[in-house]
Amino acid sequence: MKKVEKLSLIRITVSAVLLVILHFIRAEGWIRLSLYLLPYLIVGYDVLLKACRGIARGQVFDESFLMALATVGAFAIGEYPEAVFVMLFFQVGELFEHLAVGKSRRSIAALMDIRPDTANLETENGIEETDPEEVAVGSVIVIRPGERVPIDGEVIEGESSLDTAALTGESLPRGIRPGEAVVSGSVNMTATLRVRTTKEFGDSTVSKILDLVENSASNKAKSESFITRFARWYTPAVVGAALLLALVPPLFDGQWYKWIHQALTFLVISCPCALVLSVPLSFFGGIGGASRQGILVKGSNYLEDLGKTETVLFDKTGTLTKGSFAVTRIASAGADGERLIDRAAHAECDSTHPIAESIRRAFGKAADRSRVENVEEHTGRGVSAVVDGAVIRAGNALMMKEAGIDCGSVKAAGTVVHVAENGDYLGHIVISDEIKPESASVISELKKRSIRTVMLTGDRAEVGESVAGELGLDAVHSELLPADKVKHVEEELKNKSPNGKVVFAGDGINDAPVLARADLGIAMGALGSDAAIEAADIVLMDDDLNKLTKAIDISRRTNRIVRENIIFALAVKAVVLILGLLGRATMWAAVFADVGVLVICVLNAMRTLKTK
């Protein structure tokens, strides 16, 4: 609890104690007024000052003005205890508000801790501590164990583990070695690293993330905008209604005291602070809760819209698949699979092609180059070599045909490498982009939420259809250029329901136009990707596809809490306001309609901070 909140609690406690004591003291006239003014001013002096400042600035109709008017009016008609109680409970509600907002801010402030204060710069005079903003691109910095990476760069010396939890929400450390990129904001855990910077501090990942979080509140959700407009018209309207209630009925029955009392009660009831506070607090909490999961939302409008997702369009490579080649099938023809992969791995031992690297990985051990000679690359076809004295060919069907070897017709969702030994066909190896382990379950979870799933890919039709079939996608469009993907997004936008949203999820590397065109762009695995952070509305900071459904669930939960608060606050207000107009509402009912509803709505809004 901060100093201001502690002071507020002390004031509330002292005022409450004095009010209890005064209940047992019998006094009349000016003495009684003076006694009750003491707890009133202790607990409410700041509200009176705010009301006066608001009037001086022309900003009259806010909750401070309403509370001041109602309580001063209560003093004017002799209802001293009620005036103190109203101000006392209003300050209790304000304290709950500060505590709730403080908790939301602390959840986001935890993310702000990723900003490093210094960088260890290598100079001619040794290592010097300097401001990260003064480190030029291409400089060498030293990152010791326990220190945060201050600027994006590439490791030139040292092997260590990085804690990226503050960026990705992932608790498992990530191994790092020379030649690999490090991103600012992560923590070096085990060994000293020398890193050559690749960006200026202002362009580094940590700066971009913090900028997103700090500016997320500027993009208001429709619910927030509605409440702002509502309060702008609502408050003057209820003040006018209160004046009419105080002045018109007494003209007919002469009961001025009764109707002024009812008008003051009506003013207390009418305070819209429960709505004005709880709705933005709910979205603020939702954004904070999402950030702790490694999900960055650029504004509450995007968090609100995500819950209305109707269709999710996926890029294939790097989103649904790993974006790396791997052997997915070994089919032998008269030879065992072990002999087949052995011959292929040795023939490909000198190739740097991704296909050759995937075959060597599948072999599982280092190739014995002493067994290999006369290696020859055949551009666009494959490779040939002499292995253990036998001529081995590993390549596509055209290579086999040119050598007069019958390899048959093989249909596969991937690249097929045929292998032959001394003209005899041994079989084939299928190499394809691996599907992420979680992709199928994520598609299934989206379907449970009644969300349509579509894949857009530039890959061949048979590859796209194979992946879509394995994952159970509703539709797939293959062999697409970036412009074609944009056209398909526009088609989905035309066919959606009026309130539905079309989301595109891509890896953020080359999908900027599509991310920008969809209702919502979600960048997958965007750690360190400038294109993703700039183009997407929501950024998932690691490569875990499960966070897509988690983000949707957070959005839907936040929207549900916002709706609950709006409906509850308006319903209670409406009932008690009607009772107030009819002269049936007491000041205690007014206190509940204002402060009670505020506290309940704030407590409900704080549930958005919790993430499963």
pLDDT digits (tens, 9 = 90+) for 36-77: 999 999 999 998 998 888 888 877 666 777 778 778 877 887
pLDDT digits (tens, 9 = 90+) for 296-322: 888 888 899 999 999 999 988 778 888
Please give the pLDDT value at position 388: 92
- Claim: this prediction has a pTM higher than 0.75: no
Q: Which residues of 525-557 are buried (b: 16+ CB within 10 A; e: fewer)?
A: bbbbbbbbbebbbbbbbbbbbebbbbbbbbbeb
* 262 CB-near residues (< 8 Å, 6+ apart): 245, 246, 580, 583, 585
**501 pLDDT more than 80:** yes
Q: Which residues of 149-171 are buried (b: 16+ CB within 10 A; e: fewer)?
A: bbbbbebeebebbbbbbbbbbbe
Please give the pLDDT value at position 206: 67
Please give the pLDDT value at position 195: 95
Write down all domains in the chain, each with its CATH number in brackets. 119-207 (2.70.150.10), 322-435 (3.40.1110.10)
Please give the pLDDT value at position 40: 93
Report the amino acid identity of residue 326.
A
Phi first, then psi, for residue 476 (nearest 5°) are -145, 140
Instruction: For 459-497, give the DSSP string.
Output: S-HHHHHHHHHHHT-SEEE-S--HHHHHHHHHHHHHHS-
Please give the pLDDT value at position 263: 82
Asked if 216 contacts 154 with a C-beta cutoff of 8 angstroms, the reply is: no
pLDDT band at 551 (very low <50, low <70, confident <90, very high): very high
Rounded to whole angstroms, how far apart are CA atoms 300 and 296?
11
Among 195-209, 523-537, 543-557, the least confident range: 523-537
pLDDT band at 13 (very low <50, low <70, confident <90, very high): very high
Please give the pLDDT value at position 5: 81
Rounded to whole angstroms, how far apart are CA atoms 277 and 484?
44
What is the pLDDT of the chain when averaged over all its residues? 82
Please give the pLDDT value at position 86: 76
Q: CA separation (Å) from 514 to 268, 451, 528?
A: 51, 19, 19
pLDDT band at 472 (very low <50, low <70, confident <90, very high): very high
When comparing pLDDT for 453 and 337, which is higher? 453
Taking the CA atoms of residue 313, residue 301, residue 516 and residue 170 in that order, the dihedral angle to the nearest 10 degrees is -60
Please give the pLDDT value at position 565: 87
Q: How crowded is residue 6: how many other Cβ atoms within 10 Å of its Cβ?
A: 10
pLDDT band at 598 (very low <50, low <70, confident <90, very high): confident
Which of the residues are catalytic?
Answer: 315
pLDDT band at 529 (very low <50, low <70, confident <90, very high): low
